[in-house]
Structure 1
Amino acid sequence: MRRREYEGAGDFRLMQELIQRTWNPRSRLHIGDVAWERSVNAARRGTGWRTAFWEDGGQVVAWGWAELPDHLSLVVDPAQPDVAAEVIAWFQALAQDGACSILEDETHLSSALEAAGFRPDESAPYFTHHRISLDELRTPVVPEGFVLRHVEPAEVERRAEGHRAAWSDWGPSKVTDEDFAAVMSAWPYQRELDWVVEAPNGDFAASALIWYDDVNQVGLVEPVGCAPQYRRRGLAQAVNLAALHALRDAGATSATVCPRGDDAYPKARALYQSIGFKPGARSKLYVPS
């Protein structure tokens, strides 16, 4: 077993390849999760991010992503669960008081965390993974004058502006035009799966981006938003449905989305459940005992 540090863009794809190779409905992360997060936040986090890989026979079997000073994300091949202890020990050497989020079904990770002195924080906010089969989808409908369509390559600035408008309720969004350019150049982004509702005045009133894992035939909805002045018109539901239809046309059989599951923020899960997503396992935050 060999451990090494993150060395660049090629290693980013290795992170995604391990997720894709080991993905199942009990996995917390989808290839789109890391594509979105690292595209929009990598430049501003700088040395606050540390990533290490564990390789066996030249194949990556685990990685740990430390968002210093206080959080660990990790993926470990379930066929080699003992490696989880090494990833956690690496993180503890970097952040003694750090926490780690996993899905409750990832028992090979929960047992390693508990053995290392972590416990689940039942009072922490959590996310509930929702899943939908694409066999039967309703037809999206928008008000007269509004248009449903996917994004075009030259619309980076407009797409970024629409995202910021939808995500600035609690303060200005940090996502820049450059961030969204990185998103749209990241694998496996497809503009055919990046949908917007265009208002009569040209605003991108609502949007939904789906990341497609064609190996596992599953899409991840991340992110979705609707600008405050356009809410309560069914636009978020419509743009989700349009993107899901496009996902099915691309060959997917299901999609997943991960809204907050606790009652402090119920609106997002209500939206997805109205479309047909069904709740499943929840995330758990493990903290030092």
Structure 2
Amino acid sequence: MRIECRHYKEDDFIRVRDFLKNIFGKWSVGHVFMPARWEYIVFHPNIVPLKQAGVFEQIGLWEEDGEIVAVAHFESELGEVYLDVDPNYTFLYSEMIEYAEANLYEIKEDGRKSIEFHVDESNEALKALLEERGYIRDVALYEVYSGRSIVDELPDLKLPEGLLVRNIRKKEDDGRRLRVLWRGFDHVGEPDPKDLWNSCYMQSAPGYDPSINIVIENEEGNFVAYAGFWYDHLSRTAYIEPVCVDPDYRRMGLASIALTEGMRRCRLLGAENVYVASDVGLYKSLGFSQVSISYSWLKQLSDK
């Protein structure tokens, strides 16, 4: 059958997510972009300007008989490329690299075009092709996935007095959700009420489940910690994003408490494993270990 390549359209979101779900179990973790991570980033408020500018249309899809078999995409900005492909279609890698070089590059301030591919260290075929085309692996630029089973026993952590742990409530909690994310990611002052749409937008993602998005609330009713989870029933895996703690409440173990509660709730939904794109000490202390590492393969495509 003939395989056709085309540009991404707005209504392809679900189809790409479902494609990633279908191939997730066929590859090892890290070899494929996690479907929950795709959903998180597409519905992240910071991505809205890219959508409005038509940048998402530069993503490439390969289809056979109307079914997606491969996707070349970025995450949050042009120039950083991920290639996801059904294991039976890895012969498309060369074509996908050429597509990315023509459509997904970044233009630097000096006018030069550059591109980097995120490649799982276990993907020998893709690494060899990039090396043949003059790409250089930068071991200083990498991303990892850490994970753990949640079938096993979870930590029993004590919540400090005066605090309450619960899940988010849509609409009712939007303002407080915005505030804890604003302060938790070290922005100065208080959030602008005009940005309240941020919470509404992310929570409009089809896979957003308020029952597994955990907050810790103080006696004044403000949220002081947040741990977001995304659950994929097909693979029985959960993905963590985002996690933050208000600066005034750090070093109290609140992130660990919120994460543990979220993992417990994901387990009730049927989750067997949980993953996060990080290997910081917080996750190691909760029993996570590194399951994959991807390095950046870099190339300058042209002069000015």
What does 1:1-289 align with in structure 2 at a 5 Å threshold? 1-8=3-10, 10-24=11-25, 25-26=28-29, 27-40=31-44, 41-45=46-50, 46-49=53-56, 50-66=58-74, 69-94=78-103, 95=105, 96-124=113-141, 126-134=142-150, 135-154=152-171, 155-168=173-186, 176-259=195-278, 261=279, 269-288=280-299
Deviations 1:15-62 (A, max 9, x none): 111111111443342112111111113312233442121001221011
How much is the aligned-residue C-alpha RMSD, in angstroms? 2.3
Which has the larger displacement, 279-288 or 93-102? Answer: 93-102
* TM-score of the superposed pair, with normalisation by structure 1: 0.89
Assess, with a 3 A threshold, how the Cα gap between structure 1 residues 182 and 68 changes in structure 2: closer, same or farther. closer
CA distance in 2, matches of 1:247, 1:107: 34
Deviations 1:173-217 (A, max 9, x none): 999432321221112111111001111221211111111111000
Which has the larger displacement, 89-98 or 246-255? Answer: 89-98
Assess, with a 3 A threshold, how the Cα gap between structure 1 residues 106 and 141 changes in structure 2: closer, same or farther. farther
CA distance in 2, matches of 1:83, 1:173: 45
CA distance in 2, matches of 1:136, 1:76: 35
TM-aligned CA deviation for residue 172 of structure 1:
9.2
Find the residue that maps to 1:98 and give its secondary structure. strand
Paired residue type of 1:6: Y
Contact 2:72–2:82, Cα closer than 8 Å, also in 1: yes
Find the residue that maps to 2:294 and give its secondary structure. strand
Assess, with a 3 A threshold, how the Cα gap between structure 1 residues 90 and 170 changes in structure 2: closer, same or farther. farther
CA distance in 2, matches of 1:201, 1:12: 39
Contact 1:35–1:183, Cα closer than 8 Å, also in 2: no
Deviations 1:225-259 (A, max 9, x none): 11111100000000000000000000000100111
Tell me, which stretches of 5 or more residues in structure 1 are unaligned?
Answer: 262-268
Bigger Cα Rg: 2
CA distance in 2, matches of 1:172, 1:156: 14
Match of 1:265 in 2: none
Which has the larger displacement, 182-191 or 98-107? Answer: 98-107
Report how many residues are paired. Answer: 279
